[in-house]
Chain A
Amino acid sequence: MTAHLRNLQGNAACALGAIAAGCRFYAGYPITPSSEIAEWMAAELPRVGGIFVQMEDEIASMAAVIGASLGGMKAMTATSGPGFSLKQENLGYAVMAEVPCVIVDVMRGGPSTGMPTRPSQADVMQARWGTHGDHPSLVLAPHSVAEIYSETIRAFGLAERLRTPVVLLYDETLGHLIETIATEPPPPEALLERKWAEGPRREYRPYAAGEDLVPAMARPGDGHRAHTTGLTHDETGFPTQDPERVARLLDRLLGKLEHHRALIEKVDRVETEDAELLIVAIGIAARAAKAAVGALRRQGVKAGLFRPVTLWPFPEEGFRSAVATAKTVLVPEMNAGQLVLEIERLAPAGVTVHRLGRYDGEPIAPEEIVAAARELVR
């Protein structure tokens, strides 16, 4: 298929990206500012033989998505902060049972009902630590409509290939932003797919993984008759409390994403090679930061931008190389300071880390970043 130039809203690009990635199931519950994704999916999915269902709440939506994925379909749901909180329990189930799925969180102001129509980036940590227990998280943070489209496709590939839930995290501004993008569905052979169990049942152990730490999944009806549970299980898929087996499962689950960092990590760098002031930002704040870098460079400040497109697991190596020449790091984010915690953790000794935050429902403007940066390099 040829590239197709279209004016699309971020949320629409997300829906079309999902369909391009082969998503054929959507379950959701309406919530501003994500509802357009559901509306697009409701219209688009039947055209490709897919299923859309509006469930009774976000808990049910998440459950239905996992159920559909267990049945073999690529599946997704979308929501915003309050609904994302409700999805957390079953998101943990998807981590534990290793069920591929994509969850979109279009962030709005919080806490609680907060400001439904105003942007925010306050779910950075909810996306990392929202569900209980030790668990890895795979979170992608696009910053443009085009990237929402391509990252949604990438989210499905990672989810399927690594048998894990993947969160796509962007804010209200991006969700409702309209940009001209080329919607070019990738050729099928370019998509990362799930590994299905093959071979005889008696040789199949549902959670036995090879070197890549990703077990092959049993498709119901293929004769494997596997058991899937959220209880801590061993390689047979049945519950265990044997300390050695428990540790082995968690080691593998936590190690799985580490093992595939090369596949998972994606960063964007702007003029970081000689940057003395490194700005770290995601999403809409990163767009402001990009403009700020240009302005600062024109003013003679050696500024650069490091943008983790893969937010979690945080691209540590990418950050370390970007920060190599920096003396100061500035983290502009639309919250009370979440991403900055990770940067403080990773910043080399001698590098000072500052944050620029706002949580009043207004995006951060380039001028604010420039002003803050000038303050720091003075």
Chain B
Amino acid sequence: MNEIALTSADRFDIRDWLRLEMFPHFLCPGCGHGLALRAFLWAVHELGIDRDALAVISGIGCAGRLSAYVDANTFHVTHGRPLAFATGLKLARPDLTVVVITGDGDGLAIGGNHLIHACRRNLDLTCLLLNNEVYGMTGGQVSPTTAAERYTTTTPAGNCEPGFDACKLAEGAGATFVGREATLQVPTLKNLIREAIAHKGFSFVEVISDCTEIFGRKNALGNSPEMVLRQKAGMRPDNWGNKVDRPFRPNPFPTGVFVRKTRPEYLELYEAMTAAARREERD
């Protein structure tokens, strides 16, 4: 039989983008981060990006481990700092497509300051923040996005802090592209990430992911399929064009594209503003 290609879904084989010798990957059964990785690689595939010109930078955490599985130029850096590393890499190598994969702890707690300034600076980077409401890697401690009252190993009586809306933070800090989607909606998530990567300037995508083994168990959220379904219980994903969709019931997490605007990209601006100096003779 000959394999034939019909649609983009048919042509995309995730294994073309993986370091197969690293598989099976280390994530727990049902971990949502795997779905996020599929959506990301699918988007990259659709954009026709050359893997040699793709750089993936991730921090520390279960989300941070994902870079190692991608057959591209990959960098697994320190906890919370992938955006800062990416800033240097992109400034040095604007020819590369630079994508950061971070977690809710990595990107919003220890790395929150870098996120704010990456949004503000508007360098042409894409940040995928995999939000599973918990510190998965370290065994299930409370994270900035853990919803109020949830149980974690460090909130045995329930979380007394409110959860954090990362997209609002990104918007407030000046990101020129901001969106959110759940891993359940793999094709929609792929489209969102594709648009984010294609966007010129800083783009931020929050991926609603699941920590099935630790957070799910601790909070009796059911088995893996049930957790994936639960993503929908609280939100109504955007399915009608790319308009922001209000949730059916009151919920802080709408999905879709929240910000899509143009503002001069950092490096372009830097080059334009230092053009006079660039022409000067050095004395």
Chain A residues proximal to chain B, CB less than 8 Å: 24-25, 27, 43-44, 46-49, 51, 53, 55-57, 59-61, 63-73, 75, 89-90, 93, 218, 220-223, 225-231, 238-239
Contact = CB atoms under 8 A, between A and B. Distances in A.
A340 to B, nearest CB: 33
B85 interface: yes
Contacts of B274: 46
A51 B267 CA distance: 9
Contact of B52 (A44, A64, A222): A222
Contacts of B85: 63-64, 66-67, 70
A230 B60 CA distance: 10
Contacts, number: 142
B93 A72 contact: yes
A343 B274 CA distance: 49
Interface residues of B, number: 41
Nearest to B95: A221
Nearest to A96: B78
Contacts of A63: 77-78, 81, 84-85, 87-88, 114
Interface string B133-153: 000000000000000000000
Interface of B: 19, 22, 51-53, 55, 57, 67-68, 71-78, 81, 84-93, 95-96, 113-114, 116-117, 267, 270, 274, 277-278, 280, 282
A57 B88 contact: no
Given A56-B117, A60-B84, A225-B51, A70 B282 contact: no
B117 A60 contact: yes
Contacts of A61: 84
A56 B52 contact: no
Contacts of B86: 67
The prevalent SS among residues of A at the interface is mixed
Given A56-B117, A59-B84, A67-B86, A221 B91 contact: no
Contacts of A223: 52
B277 A220 contact: no
Contacts of B270: 51, 53
A60 B117 CA distance: 10
Contacts of B73: 218, 220-221, 225-226
B92 A68 contact: yes
B93 A221 contact: yes
A58 to B, nearest CB: 10
A71 B282 contact: no
